[in-house]
Amino acid sequence: MADTPPAGTGAVRPHPLLELESVSRVYGEEIEVYALREVSLQIHPGEFMSIVGPSGSGKSTMLGLLGVLDLPTSGTIRVAGQDVSLLDDPTRSKLRGDSIGFVFQQFHLIPHLTAVGNVETALLYRDLRPKERRDRCRAALEELGLGARADHRPVQMSGGEQQRVALARAIVTEPLMILADEPTGALDSTNAAHVLEIFANLQSPERAVVMVTHDATVARRANRMISMRDGRIVGDEYRGEEPR
Site of interaction with other proteins (CB under 8 A)? 59-60, 63-64, 67, 69-70, 89-90, 93-94, 96-98, 102, 104-106, 108-113, 117, 121-122, 124-125, 127-130, 133, 169, 173, 181-182, 185, 212-214
Give yes or no for a contact between 208 and 222, defined as CB atoms under 8 angstroms apart: no
β-pairing, 18-27 vs 33-43, is antiparallel
Q: Residue 192 or residue 244: which is nearer to other proteins going by CB?
A: 192
Return the SS3 of 127. coil
DSSP sequence for 142-185: HHTT-GGGTT--GGGS-HHHHHHHHHHHHHTT--SEEEEESTTT
Q: Least CB distance from residue 191 to other proteins, whole Å?
A: 17
Q: How far apart are CA 77 and CA 86, in angstroms?
A: 10
Other beta carbons less than 10 A from residue 3's beta carbon: 8
Q: Residue 5 or residue 117: which is nearer to other proteins going by CB?
A: 117
Q: Least CB distance from residue 108 to other proteins, whole Å?
A: 5
Q: How far apart are CA 56 and CA 39, in angstroms?
A: 15
Q: Residue 76 or residue 121: which is nearer to other proteins going by CB?
A: 121
Q: Least CB distance from residue 20 to other proteins, whole Å?
A: 16
Other beta carbons less than 10 A from residue 81's beta carbon: 10
Q: Residue 48 or residue 102: which is nearer to other proteins going by CB?
A: 102
Q: Least CB distance from residue 142 to other proteins, whole Å?
A: 20
Q: Least CB distance from residue 23 to other proteins, whole Å?
A: 15
Q: Residue 50 or residue 244: which is nearer to other proteins going by CB?
A: 50
Cα Dmax for the chain: 54
